[in-house]
């Protein structure tokens, strides 16, 4: 991967050289500190000619501006100053990083006409820049731009702000979030021949370095627990399954934990109900839910969150093989409920069924949120801009929705109900794993609901947001890391 930029904070001072970025409010207004970077007033003409009006994340640049020794002077629009919340600040940071182009050092003057950029806002600008800077290029042996193997210079970012000391402190938390998101992106982008269940479990084990407690259950231990649903998915692969359990105990000693559960199908061929060849390579990302769980647990541990949290990820590979499960097979889940396998490509819910039950039985958590790239149907309903939210608890659903609106990792609640639940009844077992195309994402959620009892639970179908989502101001990667910032914000706002 490209070297991550370094970030520092400094007091306002006229930069003497390099690339400088200032912030312009809607209408093109510049703050007092920003104006000092343009002693000849070159922006006035540039704004007029380009039609720049300070709209959010739009930019205009002047090369070698008159009256200074700067290489490039760029203005980034911030929109309406009174609407500068977390999501727009991240977008501004991402736009600032992009505006720096090939510069080795970027100075951002965090001064806005009409509002104050406090420490938290400065940290969010930096977070947006770090998220935008991410690139998954570890397997490229030469630079596409330079045609050689010389490493690119590490970018240095300096953010000038009113209180550099406070901004540095705020950035420590933002950097923990960034590291969790980028870890999740790395995992989603990694090819399946490199990242199998065992290797993924090792990544979870790495969180012990941050003070988390990590336990890995093997196939033998899962057999003792009678996890027939999860093991049925794994039996067609030569790569053994794993269940990774990550505990972060930063809250009160006897306080119940919050729980996050991730679907970790490291590669999904569909099994015997095999997928079409076209686009199957994208199924290396079918562990996007598990990636988000390990990412948020990394963030909580790194920022020493004052909460007890547990993350569980069921890790399998779904392959066709002489030993693979067949359509028509009946498996017995850890709960004792039996499942008729109608479609072996509806495997993620089988994995989650056992992990959700295990989580609830062992930890009795305050709530469980599972994340899974579960259905194509959710993309038909919501596209790539929101994850599907299903829940049996209105308070939890509302908190997730609010966290999504604040961070930009947005969700939309879809219904559950008895009429949908009936669709997964089976003639031969307690239930079947697929009810067909109609209401596909809803019936998948109804299936999961049968394994959570009446305890607070939410299911996030991230099939359209964890991978292959449209590129935006803070993500230029195929794997987005969706869910990490959402869940961290859920915890920070409600459970610490």
The CA angle 387-262-318, to the nearest 5 degrees, is 100
Q: Which residues of 334-356 are buried (b: 16+ CB within 10 A; e: fewer)?
A: bbebbbbbbbbbbbbbbbbbbbb
Determine if residue 269 is left, alpha or beta; phi over 0 gives left, psi from -120 to 50 gives alpha, anything else beta.
alpha
User: Which residues face 61 on adjacent strands?
Assistant: 74
DSSP string, 339-384: EE-S-TT--HHHHHHHHHHHHHHHH--S-EEEEE---SHHHHHHTT
Q: Is 347 annotated as a binding residue?
A: yes
Six-digit token string for 30: 């510049």
Q: Which of 315, 237, 261, 316 is nearest to 462 (CA)?
A: 261
- For residue 157, which of 10, 299, 2 has the smallest C-alpha distance? 10
Q: Among this protein's residues, is 437 annotated catalytic?
A: no
Asked if residue 340 lies in contact with residue 431, where contact means CB atoms within 8 angstroms, the answer is yes
> Any known ligand binding at 345?
yes
Residue 462 CB neighbours (<10 A)? 29
| 364 labeled binding residue | no
Count the Cβ atoms, other than its own, within 10 Å of residue 2.
Answer: 15
Both tokens assigned to 483? 């869910």
Structure tokens at 140: 């490229």
Catalytic residue among 275, 304, 413, 476: 275
Tell whether the torsion through CA atoms of 376, 382, 383 and 389 is positive or negative: negative
Distances (CA, A) of 308 to 201, 405, 490, 493: 21, 24, 13, 14
- Respond yes or no: is residue 185 known to be catalytic: no
**Catalytic one of 349, 410, 432, 485:** 349
Integer angstrom CA distances of residue 265 from 105, 106, 290: 40, 40, 8
Handedness of CA 432, 434, 435, 439 (dihedral sign): positive
Question: Is 286 one of the annotated binding-site residues?
Answer: yes
263 marked as part of a ligand binding site: yes
Report the alpha-carbon distance of residue 155 to residue 294 in Å, rounded.
27
| Binding-site entries for Mn(2+) | 263, 268, 286, 345, 347
| Binding-site entries | 263, 268, 286, 345, 347
- The residues annotated as belonging to the active site are 275, 349
């Amino acid at each position: 991967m490209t070297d991550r930029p370094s970030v520092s904070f400094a007091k306002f001072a006229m930069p003497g050289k390099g690339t400088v970025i200032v912030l312009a409010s809607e209408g093109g207004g510049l703050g007092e500190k920003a104006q000092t970077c343009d002693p000849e007033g070159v922006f006035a003409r540039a704004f007029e000619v380009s039609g720049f009006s300070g709209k959010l994340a739009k930019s205009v640049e002047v090369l070698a501006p008159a009256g200074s020794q700067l290489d490039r002077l760029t203005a980034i629009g911030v929109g309406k100053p009174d609407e500068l919340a977390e999501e727009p600040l991240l977008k501004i940071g991402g736009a600032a990083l992009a505006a720096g182009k090939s510069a080795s050092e970027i100075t951002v003057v965090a001064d806005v006409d009409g509002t104050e950029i406090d420490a938290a806002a400065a940290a969010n600008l930096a977070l947006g820049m770090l998220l935008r800077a991410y690139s998954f290029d570890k397997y490229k042996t030469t630079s596409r731009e330079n045609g050689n193997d010389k490493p690119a210079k590490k970018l240095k970012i300096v953010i000038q702000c009113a209180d550099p000391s406070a901004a540095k402190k705020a950035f420590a938390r933002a950097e923990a979030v960034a590291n969790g998101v980028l870890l999740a992106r790395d995992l989603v982008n990694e090819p399946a021949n490199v990242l199998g269940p065992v290797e993924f479990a090792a990544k979870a084990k790495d969180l012990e370095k941050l003070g988390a407690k990590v336990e890995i259950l093997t196939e033998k231990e899962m057999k003792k627990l009678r996890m027939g649903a999860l093991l049925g998915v794994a039996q067609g692969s030569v790569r053994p399954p794993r269940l990774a359990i990550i505990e972060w105990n930063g809250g009160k000693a006897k306080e119940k934990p919050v729980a996050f559960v991730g679907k970790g199908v490291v590669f999904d061929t569909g099994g015997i109900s095999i997928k079409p060849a076209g686009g199957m390579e994208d199924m290396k990302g079918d562990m996007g839910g598990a990636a988000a769980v390990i990412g948020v647990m990394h963030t909580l541990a790194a920022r020493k969150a004052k909460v007890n949290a547990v993350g569980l990820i069921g890790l399998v590979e779904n392959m066709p093989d002489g030993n693979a499960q067949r359509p028509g097979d009946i498996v017995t889940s850890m709960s004792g409920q039996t499942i008729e396998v109608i479609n072996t490509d509806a495997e993620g819910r089988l994995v989650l069924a056992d992990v959700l039950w295990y989580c609830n039985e062992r930890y009795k958590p305050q709530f469980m949120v599972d994340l899974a790239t579960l259905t194509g149907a959710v993309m038909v309903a919501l596209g790539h801009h929101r994850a599907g939210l299903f829940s049996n608890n209105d308070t939890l659903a509302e908190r997730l929705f609010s966290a999504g609106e604040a961070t930009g990792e947005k969700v939309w609640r879809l219904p559950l109900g008895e009429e949908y639940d009936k669709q997964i009844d089976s003639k031969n077992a307690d239930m079947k794993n697929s009810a067909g195309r109609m209401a596909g994402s809803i019936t998948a959620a109804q299936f999961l609901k049968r394994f959570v009892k009446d305890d607070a639970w939410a299911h996030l179908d991230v099939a359209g947001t964890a991978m292959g989502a449209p590129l935006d101001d803070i993500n230029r990667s195929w794997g987005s890391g969706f869910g990490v910032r959402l869940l961290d914000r859920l915890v920070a706002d409600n459970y610490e």
